[in-house]
Amino acid sequence: MAVGIFDSGLGGLTVLNAVSRRLPDVPLVYFGDNAHAPYGVRDADDIYNLTTKAVTRMWDEGVDLVIIACNTASAAALRRMQESFLPKNKRCLGVFVPLIEALTEREWGDNSPPREVRVKHVALFATPATVSSRAFQRELAFRAIGVDVEAQACGGVVDAIEDGDMILAEALVRSHVDALKRKMPQPQAAILGCTHYPLMESTFQDALGPEVEVYSQANLVAESLADYLGRHPDMLGSGTESKFLTSGNPAKVSARATQFLRREIKFVSA
């Protein structure tokens, strides 16, 4: 009854952590494509090829449903995967939609026409590839009208986190927040549109100020996954074991993951 969670690297662990709290009995197969992170500076074809290769590897672990816990892959590759890659009995779900449903005060899966919402000025922090895809604005436009979105491409943050250089990551977050505030001085809400960024959430909140509501994805994705599995229990795969796979160096990746999640995580070679 396993479910897969995919990310370009360590960021998806923020989602894995929330999912394992919400669904403690479901074995989770995690794949970090650390050898090829960051995805955020790659082009759409490259992201599609890497993501489909990793997801294909995950099918071998007895999962039928993979959460693409990477906004960059969700933005640049997921639609194409759903149209032309996924076999009939397999599913991939992205991480954008649950976030947008929460921002626009919708029930999970509510596809009613767009309407006015409480939040009017939204700052989006994401990787360069996610920002240039405009996928967030497209999904938002299906659900809300009259929302002004200012996007900030946060170059360098994912590399710093993957390298464990949290001092550099913090300095970069503060400079990206400053840049955003020059374009939108008073956002009401900020979206952390990269699953690595919750590891820096307190820095984002501090730099933005207490009046800005910061939305991060982990708990929202976990909640919407629980709802999805309640409606589609057949999407629980045959796998029985939790596992952490990486395309990178397992010892190095395990050490970083253990540091981030503050519990022992042991990756094996994909």
Please list the active-site residues.
70, 194
**Is 71 one of the annotated binding-site residues?**
yes
Contact stretch for ligand DGL (CB under 6 A) within 4-12, 23-31, 52-60, 241-249: 4-12
Does position 55 interact with ligand DGL (CB under 6 A)? The reply is no
DSSP tag of 16: H
**Is 232 one of the annotated binding-site residues?**
no
**Is 40 one of the annotated binding-site residues?**
yes
Binding mask 128-147 for ligand DGL (x = CB under 6 A): --x-----------------
Residue 62 or 219 with smaller CB distance to ligand DGL:
219
**Is 39 one of the annotated binding-site residues?**
yes
| Candidate residues 8, 17, 20, 224; the one interacting with ligand DGL per rule CB under 6 A | 8
Distance CA 246, CA 268 (A): 6
Does position 256 interact with ligand DGL (CB under 6 A)? The reply is no
Query: In angstroms, what is the minimal distance from the CB of 21 to ligand DGL?
Result: 19
Taking CB under 6 A as the criterion, which residues in 26-45 touch ligand DGL? 37-40
Residue 37 or 220 with smaller CB distance to ligand DGL:
37
Contact 194, 126 (CB under 8 A): yes
Does position 152 interact with ligand DGL (CB under 6 A)? The reply is no
**Is 56 one of the annotated binding-site residues?**
no
Distance CA 198, CA 192 (A): 7
Q: Please choose, from the candidates 195, 188, 260, 190, the residue with its C-alpha nearest in 3D space to the C-alpha of residue 221.
A: 195
| Candidate residues 76, 158, 225, 245; the one interacting with ligand DGL per rule CB under 6 A | 158
Residue 38 or 237 with smaller CB distance to ligand DGL:
38
Distance CA 68, CA 194 (A): 11
Distance CA 215, CA 116 (A): 19
DSSP tag of 10: S
Does position 11 interact with ligand DGL (CB under 6 A)? The reply is yes
**Is 196 one of the annotated binding-site residues?**
yes
| Candidate residues 152, 195, 203, 247; the one interacting with ligand DGL per rule CB under 6 A | 195
Does position 248 interact with ligand DGL (CB under 6 A)? The reply is no
Contact 156, 180 (CB under 8 A): no
Does position 98 interact with ligand DGL (CB under 6 A)? The reply is no
| Candidate residues 34, 104, 127, 246; the one interacting with ligand DGL per rule CB under 6 A | 127
Q: If you write DSSP's letter for every residue of 126-171 in order, what string do you get?
A: E-HHHHHHTHHHHHHHTTEES-EEEEEE-TTHHHHHHTT-HHHHHH
**Is 155 one of the annotated binding-site residues?**
no
Q: Which residues neighbour 92 within 8 Å (Cβ) at sequence distance 6 or greater?
A: 55, 65, 66, 67, 68, 78, 81, 82, 86
Distance CA 245, CA 191 (A): 28
Taking CB under 6 A as the criterion, which residues in 77-96 touch ligand DGL? none
Contact 216, 198 (CB under 8 A): yes
| Residue ranges binding ligand DGL (CB under 6 A) | 7-9, 11, 37-40, 70-72, 127, 130, 158, 194-196
